[in-house]
Amino acid sequence: MNEEPRYKRKEDCPLTYAFALIGGKWRLPIIWALWKNEKLRYNELKRSVDGITNMVLSHTLKEMESYGLVVRKQYMEIPPRVEYSLTEAGKDLVPSLESLAKWGKAMQNK
């Protein structure tokens, strides 16, 4: 996958910035899975996010980690174990998302 040219860090408008952080095809499903499960291993997460490939999952997680949304914790074991979870900032996001989801649901019923 390419290097990210998309996300100008610290964009002027906070709302646009927020969307830059959580937009894209897989970010929301990942956040949702980690919200419902607290912490997940790589393959658990992959199974929770239906249809995502290794390529895209690992790349997306790296981005989200760099944005401060996700924590990656690696255990030095064999076989390797890596656990992902939401940062506090990631959790802070959830109420806003629930609010948006509520609106989305109302829109679906029209």
Partner DNA sequence: CTGTATCCGGCTAGATACTG
Partner DNA sequence: CAGTATCTAGCCGGATACAG
Question: Which chain residues interact with DNA by CB under 7 A?
Answer: 1-2, 4-6, 24-26, 41-44, 51-56, 58-62, 72, 74, 79-82, 84
Q: Closer to DNA by CB, 79 or 95: give it.
A: 79
Partner from its own copies, DNA, none contacting 110, C-beta within 5 to 8 A by type:
its own copies
- For its own copies, what does the binding mask look like between residues 46 and 75, x meaning CB under 8 A? ---------------------xx-------
Smallest gap from Cβ 10 to its own copies, in A, equals 5
Q: Are 38 and 94 in contact (CB under 8 A)?
A: no
Return phi, psi of residue 43, to 5°: -75, -30
Measure CA of the first residue to CA of the last residue in the chain; give whole Å. Answer: 38
Whole-number Å distance between alpha carbons of 52 and 48: 9
